[in-house]
Amino acid sequence: MIKEKSQKPAEGSAPETHSQEFLDALRHSCAHVMAQAVQELFPGTKISIGPAIENGFYYDFDSPHRFTEEDFPKIEKRMQEIAQGNHPFKGEEISFEEAKKFWEERGEKYKVEILEGLQGQKITHYHHDSYTDLCRGGHLESTKLLRHFKLLSVAGAYWRGDEKNAMLQRIYGTAWATKEDLEKHLKMLEEAKARDHRKLGTELRLFSISDKIGPGLPLWLPKGATIRSLIERYIVDLERSLGYQHVYSPALARVELYKQSGHWDHFKENMYPAMQFENKEELVLRPMNCPHHIMIYKNDLHSYRDLPLRIAELGTMYRYERSGVLSGLSRVRAMTLNDAHIFCLPDQIRNEATGVLRLIERVYKDFGFKDYWFRLSLRDPADKIKYVDNPAMWDKAERLLKEALSEVGVSFKEAAGEAAYYGPKIDVQLHDALGHSETLSTLQLDFYLPERFDLEYVNKDGARERPVMIHRGIVSTMERMTAFLIEHYAGNFPLWLSPIQVKILTLTNAEEGPARTLEEHLLAAGLRVSLDLRAEKISAKIRDAQLEKIPYMIILGPKDVAAKTLSVRLRDGRQAHGVSEEKLIQELIRENISKTLSPTWLEPK
């Protein structure tokens, strides 16, 4: 049990403990109290599981009542009443037979099913007030510590995550040690909701999901496709300048290729079923690009002088994701990865790894990412099934990645059990709009696949040796990167990434001719421009351009045309009058090339 510290706080104050252990216990206890309230208020509701999660908790219910957010005030009120009752949480060890009888008598089929998997193990019930749950523990001492919580949302959740099972109703909530912490978190959630890439993607007409095509298969609309192509051109040009050679490879291959690579054994549940053709040939949509790049390497016999060989591709992959986890562009079934595989000599590993890490830092600077950190993902030595069983290989690979991180001079955290099945990796973690840590870039060191595919190079003595592979992705998939950028910028893309950079707004019909001429000049300068020639008030045109989050508006009226100057307005409200066309184009080109996040040539607002 988690208790308050011995130095008792003043009546009504928050407990002194703010450790993760305390917060986990707080949220787990809150899930139990919510389950009690729900069962009391909505008779016939069956319970399943209710864990603590990052920043909150949830409980899954099978109920004849369809829960909505309108039910939350009533549930929260009852939760507060239970909490104020100062009921202790008490654990009790119980036999399998007693527990099964207890839950069968109450018709709690989900608890009975959980029990079936616990035979021979220690079984415990936890009680508070009139409520009992099948639980391993991790609770507060008493309900009195539950003061600052809020129910957030309802979602569907398949029992045990299997879409063949019953669809349950999951109620999410959050709980904190203090009122201030709760309010801070709720404020962050509101900000995150405003930045949600699914909401902004719809409002800004960047992408859409069609039921006719299917979930997880987004359609890139013209503006979203422009952003995607800008990211693609940026990273391809940068990679080519660093010696990467770009290739194209097919999106499917024979099953045997993925059996040889090991993906069929380790990744089959995330792959689409094999398609059988004539002569019983089986083809599968690729979940990874690396086997294809290996075949490109094997197309020639390489000398040690050819290495490192850096093969890159914007490769489209297909992975089966359950419908319940699909989300806009961030979780999809078809994705295009900024992928590359470096084939190198063993003594080139450190230089190549540091080169990748420095490339990541350069890219993050251009995109304005600052809140990121490095995670060294290692194997779990005890897991001989998930990870290739070759301790010497793992020890060497993990040591080399640590050396590369040290050489670049970045701090990192180690995470056992997060490696790829064939080798350790460096994951670069960024915080999303909700404060969650999300992997965007990866670097994976691989001694395994070169062995599986019998890769070779000719050394300086004319003998054959085995190269090493480095798998790396810098800007992730185009889908995930775009989703992240939408939320990172809240839709206010810097000039170089904006699908429309300048919008020309006319005051009257008389300015149509000069507006079209200006449009031609801006387009010739390589800028992305649109016209608003509607017979609307200028205030309405400005409002619409701001809703589209267009960086620059040029307002053309009779005085501007007569003076041969321009009135410029930024989306943040800054304005400049009497700007020459030449000056504006020069500044826009400079801002575009330098990837400036916010223009500095206009006076602050």
Nearest residue to 517 (alpha-carbon basis) of 571, 581, 569, 456: 581
* Three-state secondary structure of 358-402: HHHHHHHHHHCCCCEEEEEEECCCCCCCCCCCCHHHHHHHHHHHH
The pLDDT score that the predictor gives to residue 2 is 55
Indicate the helix (H) or strand (E) that contains 588: helix 581-594
Block means of pLDDT (10 residues each) for the chain, length 605 residues?
A: 43 56 95 97 96 94 96 97 96 94 95 92 95 94 94 93 89 95 93 93 96 95 97 97 97 94 87 86 93 96 97 96 86 96 95 96 94 91 80 87 92 88 89 80 92 96 96 96 95 97 95 96 97 94 96 95 94 91 95 87 63
| CA pair distance 212, 235, nearest whole angstrom | 32
The pLDDT score that the predictor gives to residue 324 is 74
Residue 152 tokens read as 């957030």
Cα distances (angstroms) measured from residue 98 to each of 47, 94, 115: 18, 6, 11
Indicate the helix (H) or strand (E) that contains 261: helix 255-261
Cβ atoms of 209 and 218 within 8 Å: the answer is: yes
Return the beta strands (E) in 116-166 as ranges.
124-128, 131-134, 148-158
The pLDDT score that the predictor gives to residue 602 is 74
Residue 458 pairs with which residues in a beta bridge?
A: 303, 464
The DSSP letter of residue 189 is: H
Cβ atoms of 24 and 138 within 8 Å: the answer is: yes
Domain at 20-195, CATH class: alpha beta
Return the beta strands (E) in 34-144 as ranges.
46-47, 52-53, 56-62, 90-93, 124-128, 131-134
The pLDDT score that the predictor gives to residue 245 is 98
| CA pair distance 313, 443, nearest whole angstrom | 15
DSSP codes, 438-487: EEEEEEEEESHHHHHTT--EE-TTS-EE--EEEEEEEEEEHHHHHHHHHH
Q: Where are the domains positioned within the chain?
A: 20-195, 225-248+303-489, 495-594
Burial of 278 (0-12, 13-18, 19+ CB in 10 A): exposed
How many residues can be counted in the chain? 605
SS3 category, 214: coil
| CA pair distance 56, 181, nearest whole angstrom | 12
Cα three-residue angle 373-378-383, rounded to 5 degrees: 145
Helix then strand then coil, in percent of the chain rounded to 5, is 40, 25, 35
Rounded to 10 deg, the angle between the 20-41 and 72-84 helix axes is 110
SS3 category, 328: coil
The pLDDT score that the predictor gives to residue 279 is 81
The pLDDT score that the predictor gives to residue 4 is 44
Strands 502-506 and 468-477: unpaired
Return the residue matching tokens 């575009």.
Answer: 592
The DSSP letter of residue 87 is: P
Nearest residue to 162 (alpha-carbon basis) of 322, 325, 326: 322
* Three-state secondary structure of 225-246: HHHHHHHHHHHHHHHHHCCCEE
42: left (phi over 0), alpha (psi -120 to 50) or beta: beta
Greatest extent of the chain over all pairs of C-alpha atoms, in Å: 92
Nearest residue to 285 (alpha-carbon basis) of 266, 299, 297, 267: 267
Residue 305 tokens read as 């002088």
Nearest residue to 219 (alpha-carbon basis) of 209, 227, 233, 229: 209
Superfamily of domain 225-248+303-489: Bira Bifunctional Protein; Domain 2 (3.30.930.10)
Cβ atoms of 509 and 536 within 8 Å: the answer is: no
Helices H, strands E: what count in the chain? 18, 29
The pLDDT score that the predictor gives to residue 277 is 85
| Assigned CATH for 495-594 | 3.40.50.800
